[in-house]
Amino acid sequence: MNSHLPAAMHDKTLTELSAGLAAGAFSSEELTRVFLARIEQFNPGLNAFITVTAEAALAQARAADARRQRGEAGPLTGVPIAHKDIFCTNGVRTSCGSRMLDRFIAPYDATVVEKLNAAGVVMLGKTNMDEFAMGSSNETSFYGPVRNPWDLDAVPGGSSGGSAAAVAARLVPGATGTDTGGSIRQPAALCGITGLKPTYGRVSRWGMIAYASSLDQGGPMARTAEDCALLLGAMAGFDPRDSTSVDRPVPDYVALLDRPLAGLKIGLPKEYFGEGLDSEVARVVEAAIAEYRKLGAETVEISLPNSQLAVPAYYVIAPAECSSNLARFDGVRYGHRCENPKDLLDLYTRSRAEGFGAEVTRRILVGTFALSAGYYDAYYLKAQQIRRLISDDFRRAFEQVDVIAGPTSPTVAFNLGEKVDDPITMYLSDIYTIAVNLAGLPGLSLPVGFVGQRPVGLQLIGHYFAEDRLLNVAHRYQQVTDWHRRAPAAFA
């Protein structure tokens, strides 16, 4: 590191780094070298990155510095980030954490990548993830599990565990993630960072490799709500290439952060504070809610009576959609291809059996069964009817309250290997997050304390397109607390 650089640059938030670049305190190239050095030092122990693009990152950083000298810089110009390895990146391996795509070099950029490139960010690399985003612990990756920076024996959560661990360990100030049933919010909670799953349709899914098309949504992961606001402003917006993208103006999320919380009504669903919630996690979450009352918010007990049906409905709908989406990986056009196939059937069966891991195979089989003749009405159609009931519960709740709050995860991070042989227990890790995806609502997780050395997250759920409100509510809490400032001792 150059002697004139400010100390502990890695510990600054994305917003602080943006301000430092604007003030000329350091260049993007200097900043990028700091984070690349940290990745080189710490990633072998964390396994947060699948691919590091050091040379391309330095070239982007130099281009960002030139852009700044010409007076063409925006708030994200020259700021380093990482992309979850589910977003296509032109000329760079895009693996989805799977052997199936281990050698796939994307020929184009996903819209999210394109938009962030246009904003001037520097991509440091692609982060590790559960295979095809299927998992809650980042243990299904072909490249091995990611470790939680707060405790290397613990999981970071999934499927965006690589992005969460990289941000928590200060290997990168911000990253992209995707959320199909909690895959931004749950790892954000388990790693003690802030993560936002936007309203379905707010962020383009074009070039984001599909798991379950009616549930997937990309979003930002960073240390603070302010950082997430900055990233979301660049990521969001209409995309004519994505038929599910919503044509709606993108507000200035950063400008709306400081609104007071006086009169805000926070709904507390009784179903989120009952059986299954760890008592220590409940204590930390209730302390955070008490802080909101001090900030002028009012709490109201509400009910989401169909929330207990979210997990079974999700594990019919998501596998059904994944069985359709993953049918394209057949060894013919791209992806893993078996050696010396005897015939077309042998090519299909061996390529898929070799390319997909156990969890992906399980979900494809479940989904194919649910969609098969004779079972469609009993399973898939019934799950979609439950999905509507869950959406209606939220709609009624938002007639009484502005936001809904509760724990993000029923427990803190569990140990590596602890639930890997028990898929049902693993699936219940997402019990508080899944309903948000089924309804298409925005949800945010922010750090609010610890149980022992492991972080606890508070989930905030908003009405459709109320990301500005969620970011504002999280930001006001972060102005009076310092949980988001805490760093794992080994990475401080």
Q: Which are the catalytic amino acids? A: 84, 159, 183
Report the C-alpha gap between 148 and 139 in whole angstroms: 12
383: exposed, middle or buried (Cβ count in 10 Å: 0-12, 13-18, 19+) = buried
Contacts with 481 (C-beta within 8 Å, 6 or more apart), sequence order: 291, 448
What torsion, rounded to 10 degrees, do the Cα atoms 453, 454, 455, 461 define?
Answer: -160
In 3D, which of 305, 486, 282 has the Cα closest to residue 395? 305
Helices marked H in 269-421:
279-294, 310-325, 344-355, 358-371, 382-397
Report the C-alpha gap between 426 and 415 in whole angstroms: 12
The token pair at 154 is 């613990």
- What are the φ/ψ torsions at residue 265 (nearest 5 degrees)? -105, 120
In 3D, which of 158, 61, 165 has the Cα closest to residue 360? 158
- The answer to whether 299 touches 266, Cβ cutoff 8 Å, is yes
Distances (CA, A) of 61 to 29, 65, 81, 461: 5, 6, 11, 36
Report the C-alpha gap between 259 and 254 in whole angstroms: 11
SS3 146: coil
In 3D, which of 428, 201, 215, 202 has the Cα closest to residue 307? 428
The token pair at 239 is 């995309």
Contacts with 473 (C-beta within 8 Å, 6 or more apart), sequence order: 261, 264, 266, 292, 297, 403, 460
* Tally: H helices and E strands in the chain: 15, 11
In 3D, which of 159, 157, 168 has the Cα closest to residue 224? 168
Helix 161-168 vs helix 28-46: crossing angle, to nearest 10: 120
Report the C-alpha gap between 222 and 446 in whole angstroms: 10
Report the C-alpha gap between 442 and 185 in whole angstroms: 11
SS3 177: strand
- The answer to whether 168 touches 224, Cβ cutoff 8 Å, is no
